[in-house]
């Protein structure tokens, strides 16, 4: 479009604000094309989608302070997040969902080693010492419902910054209401009547299965304790083992029969 317009003296064109906005929007959404290859588009494609949501607290004292930091830098360098939620529940978006925000830093969750490339980062305005406001958690649940539905993020894949970076981070901390999120269908939580772990149960294998790294086991236990017991601690006890056993047991599923419907994959990578 701009190539055709270039035949006319641009200074003689009368640009309306609406026309200019349309032109800029068209250019911004044009797919990137490599000049080394002929463009032959296939309809079998989609946006790259995040598979994880990471929850943080800001460890600052106001929404405005956090907005300023998330658009500039902190002591470690430039930093950002996709969303910030104030104590009153007001939501701010700082980075588009399809873009890579700089919120996770070095860390891992299961096989994911580039947290920023695979996740949505949500910051909660909280100083790290105070309970999270009711309106803030209500607002977070609304946002989680939207993100998981619209971006098809698995609802179990909601974690804290300390889960993916236990050596470096403690947020969202032991005061964050993970159980309430689980009751709303996000993340995981053990059943209250889950039995004790059987003899020979290996909690380190269970922690790895959940996604935790074991480079520093004490730090991993602290992150696990913050999330599932709301307390401090760097050594596993029987209650930790009970929780780990409950969280890592496969759900009971009815056996398939000849009359059960067969799942047909929605997409294929076969040629």
229 near 246, Cβ under 8 Å? no
235 is catalytic: no
Q: Which residues pair with 92 in a beta bridge?
A: 84
Residue 176, token pair as written in the block? 């964050």
Catalytic pick from 123, 134, 145, 267?
A: 123
Catalytic residues: 123
């Amino acid at each position: 479009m701009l190539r055709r317009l270039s035949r006319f003296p641009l200074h003689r064109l009368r640009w309306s604000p609406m026309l200019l906005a349309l032109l800029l929007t068209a250019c911004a959404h044009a797919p990137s094309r490599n000049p080394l290859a002929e463009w032959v588009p296939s309809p079998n494609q989609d946006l790259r989608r995040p598979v994880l949501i990471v929850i943080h607290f800001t460890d600052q004292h106001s929404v405005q302070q956090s907005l300023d930091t998330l658009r500039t830098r902190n002591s470690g360098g430039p930093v950002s997040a996709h969303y910030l939620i104030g104590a009153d529940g007001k939501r701010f978006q700082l980075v588009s969902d399809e873009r890579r925000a700089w919120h996770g830093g070095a860390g891992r969750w299961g096989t994911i080693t580039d947290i920023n490339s695979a996740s949505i980062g949500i910051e909660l305005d909280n100083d790290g010492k105070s309970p999270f406001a009711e309106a803030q958690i209500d607002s977070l649940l609304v946002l989680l419902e939207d993100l998981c539905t619209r971006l098809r993020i698995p609802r179990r894949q909601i974690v804290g910054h300390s889960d993916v970076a236990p050596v470096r981070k403690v947020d969202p901390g032991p005061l964050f209401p993970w159980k309430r999120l689980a009751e709303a269908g996000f993340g995981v939580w053990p059943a209250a009547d889950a039995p004790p772990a059987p003899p020979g149960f290996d909690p380190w294998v269970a922690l790895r299965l959940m996604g935790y790294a074991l480079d520093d086991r004490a730090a991993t236990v602290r992150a696990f304790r913050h999330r599932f017991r709301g307390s401090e601690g760097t050594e596993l006890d029987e209650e930790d083992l009970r929780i780990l056993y409950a969280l890592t047991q496969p759900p009971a599923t009815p056996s398939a029969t000849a009359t059960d419907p067969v799942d047909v994959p929605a997409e294929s990578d076969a040629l």
